[in-house]
Amino acid sequence: NAGVTQTPKFQVLKTGQSMTLQCAQDMNHEYMSWYRQDPGMGLRLIHYSVGAGITDQGEVPNGYNVSRSTTEDFPLRLLSAAPSQTSVYFCASSYWDRGTYNEQFFGPGTRLTVL
Amino acid sequence: KQEVTQIPAALSVPEGENLVLNCSFTDSAIYNLQWFRQDPGKGLTSLLLIQSSQREQTSGRLNASLDKSSGRSTLYIAASQPGDSATYLCAVGPPNYGGATNKLIFGTGTLLAVQP
């Protein structure tokens, strides 16, 4: 298994541009989520999904959209990039087993800079 | 609002020493607690997951304990090695009121340096 994969690894955008961060997992996990990591603030949840067709907001959803058309993919869209969205973005997945969620597996991250 | 704190922010120890990393959380009503390791410029690697009904988990030289009543978890690393140098993150899953989710609330981590 490749686990959780993310593309691109690095990206530089100009203010106002839009882009999509890709996330895929090949473990058939129901649960997927996006976090951003900023110095001194730890990781914060942006959006999450408990299954195909179902998404919900996390702690810091403004400026981001998600969709979940398949179990494998969970793209994160930046609608109009702002310098405050400069961060490292991580995608994670987890599976449901016997009535409980298990450990979350993280991708390698996308380092985004907005100028 | 659940808050997760990890103290100290940084720790340096000589190789071979046993050490304890601390994690505290303000709301004892949790779903689970997970410890991660993060190497510089890399993603997070899951180390141990403790469900709310459990008291501890062990994997090799690592042992994590959970005391919900006091809002604390510890990660014990035995016989530390230079390869253990990394940032260790603690994350708490809030309870699933009204639906099944697996959200995590992270601490800011402890940067561990093991000196050869």
DSSP sequence for B3-38: -EE-S-SEEEEETT--EEEEEEES-S--SEEEEEEE
Mean predicted confidence (pLDDT) in B88-105: 78
Residue A41 has what pLDDT?
85
CA distance A90 to A55: 17
Q: pLDDT tens digit string along A33-50?
A: 999 999 888 899 999 998
Question: Is residue A49 within 8 angstroms of chain B, CB to CB?
Answer: no
The number of beta carbons lying within 10 Å of the beta carbon of residue A89 is 23
In chain B, which residues have their Cβ closer than 8 Å to the Cβ of A41?
108
Q: How far is B108 from chain A (nearest CA, A)?
A: 4
Which segments in chain A show pLDDT lower than 50?
A: none
Q: pLDDT tens digit string along B31-86?
A: 889 999 999 989 999 999 998 889 999 999 999 999 999 999 999 999 999 999 99
Residue B100 has what pLDDT?
54
Question: Is residue A108 within 8 angstroms of chain B, CB to CB?
Answer: yes
Residue B30 has what pLDDT?
87
* Sequence-separated (6 or more) residues with CB below 8 Å from residue B59: B47, B48
The number of beta carbons lying within 10 Å of the beta carbon of residue B60 is 8
Higher pLDDT, B110 or A1: B110
| pLDDT above 60 (res B98) | no
